[in-house]
Chain A
């Protein structure tokens, strides 16, 4: 063993604190030792391997497959095609309620997008299954691919995002523009982006009679069980999904996709467990993506730099057969005070896989355009971009006038600017260079994200030994649910987190809702909190009724739960441990349960948002156009923070996604064929370590009196604001305004050569 592999002292995990403390991750030990089990790590006795063959055309029909060639390959045992694929109990072209999408599962020979599964090869070994799929040599009847704005089918959308209205208008937009001194107009194109979680979608499917067990990464465990049950015509309680760890999700693992269904069909057909893992390239199609947008911003400002009108119009791409439209224009609704605001969307149908929610769906694309355009408007008014944003600060929700439940955005601006050193920023572009002659620019963007809530349920069991078990079918895709939810549960139970065992990631637990929308901690946390309180309440009932307890008769005065003991609220000297109370009552445990949903009145009466301000420094090579984001400071206010270390990591991740959106990510589609020509990790660029030299996240304290637990959400807000901040910094460095994302070298070099700024 090399010298550097000598054993080290055991790591000390800090479990000695409660909610609000920066505990390290509970699942850390498993993750750093390779013992955290992801779906494709499961290996069952008698397991077969399944690999999909995918379409290389965007539209048409499969006319032939060389099934014999595939079957002749050693160790291939079966090939699933539309000819022999069993019909499903639920028509996959009929949308499943709640977040269902139309999917392709070999029910016919139609092709609607590139990389659609057109067959499934099942083999004894992975190598054989892969080669079997390659041997199918599909032939097609091909129709012209609709790949862009010019040849797509435009339509009036019934809804954007998840059921949102396609148009929202406040005030008189025409009057607003008529009153403007300056009207800024700017167009932006955002590309198709793919979630590209590091863990490709995978499933190990196993049948036992009509009981189905699935090891799969899943952001919506209980909801998904109902979906799989419907497709296979079995009761939903017959489906068990195990998803202790997700190798990233970002929205793509909350939805039922075709390939996993195929693996389940194969397992049923073969009467053996089947493992299927998509290849990286196969993820560019059947598992969702962030849809392309074409956005137009019109911003009217008066002589003082106040907004008079804000109009945000988006064309959102969706597939030819289903709808998920980036609700990009809605990014303009909650942020800047304007007497007139219009957010509107239309759709365009392309021969692509259906887009879906991808980290900050709608908000990311919309914020990118809005924040870039706001800077153009500030410049038109001759104002500092931060000053301009402060001047147009919304004290109440624009249009509706509803109060914000809490809003510490001003503090985000102030603290972020101070930390970044914004005051030293020259107003005009191309004023700063570093020692090596690189152009330097600073930009700011406002971050905002709404606070959704999902109904959840949980169970909290206080055990005779003074420990507890808390349970909910939550999902940890990296955000830290294992840790943060345990902290919330421990707090409600009055226990040190080290005394609390948590169980999540299995669908048989009480419904933990969806790990998405930045709402998981607040939603699952609320029911865990309530379940914990329920358990404490039951324990209290036992204690106060027990004449032998020091708490006897304290029912009216009340008790508090702390450090594993109940105390009289009026006397800290009169208390008793949970274990004693249970032991005397002869109880093995008390089980608290809860179903929780935020009171809808809270959202009706208040605007619920997290906020932030992101400051970015970029350097740009003046001759070569290469860009590096050399420094970023984000200041965020998101209500109560359960675990600052995990939250900071969420902000960092979001801000890095912002770098990616601004400078790197783009699926490049051949307009003639609809084929994505960079469906891999070599040419579809996501940031590498060297792209991220300096990041700082500031947690602005914010107390929210209305939200349950005071918790907002932190998973997605980091990407908003950041894209605009970078685009604005690039303008400040170069004098070139971004009009599409990602900003390409040629946009800058062309601009650098033509822009004449002293």
Chain B
């Protein structure tokens, strides 16, 4: 049984030899690669704090076996900003106070980035709320979260319209 896996994480290739087949993507990131941005809130796909992008899609890293990811591309919260330049979603979360304790925030932000890429919400706040409902926030920062996603969506739509013109 081969326990080696090649994964690109935040643009950097990793050839990983695992000593254990049970390692989830979340625990790989947190305990073995020291990428602790993704958080463990439930470890069972029930809270969204561990959300990362795999192949550009948002998923719960706690329910993903690291071994099954051979050849995949993973982006975590650590890979979102470009140097000092925040991703627009990150900036909007600060501006709209889309968090309090901050523990769910990496998951919320990765989820929002995934949501925007999926393109099913438009600038309808109700659709944003529904499609952000896989990320629990116990502090109750939902209003700011929705406003932050909405702002980025609208800015992007405006940008797209300008591009088209």
A interface list, Cβ under 8 A from B = 1-2, 4-11, 13, 24-25, 27-38, 40-41, 43, 49, 75, 125-128, 131, 196-200, 245-250, 277, 279-280, 477-480, 645-646, 648-650, 652-657, 680-682, 686-693, 695
Contact in complex: B75, A5 (CB < 8 Å): yes
Residues of A within 8 A of B97 (CB): 24-25, 645-646, 648-649
Residue of chain A at shortest CB distance from B10 = A1
Choice from A9, A11, A198, A480 contacting B104 with Cβ under 8 Å: A198
Known A-B contacts A10-B84, A10-B85, A246-B101; the reply to A689 vs B113 at CB < 8 A is: no
Residue of chain B at shortest CB distance from A277 = B40
Known A-B contacts A33-B86, A125-B20, A127-B20; the reply to A247 vs B101 at CB < 8 A is: yes
Residues of B within 8 A of A32 (CB): 77, 86, 90-91, 93-94, 99, 105, 109
Contact in complex: A478, B36 (CB < 8 Å): no
Choice from A8, A34, A248, A280 contacting B85 with Cβ under 8 Å: A8
Contact in complex: B139, A248 (CB < 8 Å): yes
Residues of A within 8 A of B133 (CB): 688-690
Known A-B contacts A24-B94, A478-B101, A655-B140; the reply to A689 vs B146 at CB < 8 A is: yes
Residue of chain A at shortest CB distance from B95 = A24
CB distance from A353 to the nearest CB of B (A): 19
Residues of B within 8 A of A645 (CB): 97
Residues of A within 8 A of B16 (CB): none
Residues of A within 8 A of B105 (CB): 31-32
Contact in complex: B75, A656 (CB < 8 Å): no
Main secondary structure of the interface of B (DSSP, over half): loop
CB distance from B25 to the nearest CB of A (A): 13
Residue of chain A at shortest CB distance from B146 = A689
Of A5, A30, A41, A648, chain B has the most CB atoms within 10 Å of the CB of: A5
CB distance from B76 to the nearest CB of A (A): 7
Residue of chain A at shortest CB distance from B24 = A127
Choice from B86, B94, B129, B132 contacting A25 with Cβ under 8 Å: B94
Contact in complex: B90, A126 (CB < 8 Å): no
Q: For the A-B complex with A34-B36, A198-B137 known, give 7 more contacts whose Cβ atoms are closer than 8 Å.
A: A5-B87, A41-B30, A49-B31, A249-B101, A646-B97, A681-B136, A692-B129
Contact in complex: A34, B76 (CB < 8 Å): yes
Choice from A7, A13, A49, A688 contacting B136 with Cβ under 8 Å: A688
Contacts A/B (CB < 8 Å), 6 sampled: A5-B79, A8-B91, A198-B104, A688-B133, A689-B142, A693-B125
Contact in complex: B143, A681 (CB < 8 Å): no
Known A-B contacts A245-B102, A247-B103, A652-B141; the reply to A29 vs B94 at CB < 8 A is: yes
Residues of A within 8 A of B125 (CB): 693
CB distance from B37 to the nearest CB of A (A): 2
Q: Is B17 an interface residue (CB 8 A)?
A: no
Q: Is B2 an interface residue (CB 8 A)?
A: no
Known A-B contacts A478-B101, A653-B100, A688-B136; the reply to A681 vs B94 at CB < 8 A is: no
Distance of A131 Cα from B27 Cα, bound (Å): 15
Residues of A within 8 A of B80 (CB): 5, 33
Contact in complex: B82, A6 (CB < 8 Å): yes
Residues of A within 8 A of B75 (CB): 1-2, 5
Main secondary structure of the interface of A (DSSP, over half): loop
Q: Is B157 an interface residue (CB 8 A)?
A: no
Choice from B27, B83, B103 contacting A248 with Cβ under 8 Å: B103
Distance of A38 Cα from B22 Cα, bound (Å): 24
Q: What 0/1 pattern do residues 35 to 71 of B give for CB contact below 8 A with A?
A: 1111111111011010001001000000000000000
Q: Is B23 an interface residue (CB 8 A)?
A: yes
Contact in complex: A657, B126 (CB < 8 Å): no
Distance of A687 Cα from B134 Cα, bound (Å): 11
Distance of A196 Cα from B41 Cα, bound (Å): 9
CB distance from A694 to the nearest CB of B (A): 8
Distance of A688 Cα from B156 Cα, bound (Å): 25
Q: Is B145 an interface residue (CB 8 A)?
A: yes
Distance of A528 Cα from B16 Cα, bound (Å): 49
Distance of A695 Cα from B116 Cα, bound (Å): 24
Residues of A within 8 A of B94 (CB): 11, 13, 24-25, 28-29, 32
Residues of B within 8 A of A480 (CB): 100
Distance of A688 Cα from B141 Cα, bound (Å): 10
Residues of A within 8 A of B129 (CB): 689-690, 692-693
Residues of B within 8 A of A7 (CB): 81-83, 85, 87
CB distance from A621 to the nearest CB of B (A): 17
Residues of B within 8 A of A37 (CB): 36
CB distance from A739 to the nearest CB of B (A): 26
The 8 closest A-B pairs by CB, nearest first: A34-B37, A247-B103, A478-B101, A478-B100, A7-B82, A656-B140, A31-B102, A34-B77
Known A-B contacts A25-B94, A280-B43; the reply to A127 vs B102 at CB < 8 A is: no
Residues of B within 8 A of A646 (CB): 97
Residues of B within 8 A of A43 (CB): 31, 34, 36
Of B34, B40, B134, B145, chain A has the most CB atoms within 10 Å of the CB of: B40
CB distance from B34 to the nearest CB of A (A): 5
Contact in complex: A198, B86 (CB < 8 Å): no
CB distance from B12 to the nearest CB of A (A): 12
Residues of A within 8 A of B135 (CB): 689
Contact in complex: B31, A126 (CB < 8 Å): yes
Choice from B23, B139, B146 contacting A478 with Cβ under 8 Å: B139
CB distance from B54 to the nearest CB of A (A): 12
Residues of A within 8 A of B103 (CB): 38, 197-199, 245, 247-248
Q: Is B138 an interface residue (CB 8 A)?
A: yes
Q: Is B144 an interface residue (CB 8 A)?
A: yes
CB distance from B141 to the nearest CB of A (A): 6
Residues of A within 8 A of B113 (CB): 4-5
Residues of A within 8 A of B43 (CB): 279-280
Residues of A within 8 A of B95 (CB): 11, 24
Contact in complex: B138, A248 (CB < 8 Å): yes
Distance of A11 Cα from B86 Cα, bound (Å): 7
Contact in complex: A4, B46 (CB < 8 Å): no
Distance of A695 Cα from B146 Cα, bound (Å): 12
Known A-B contacts A7-B83, A693-B129; the reply to A31 vs B136 at CB < 8 A is: no
Distance of A138 Cα from B110 Cα, bound (Å): 40
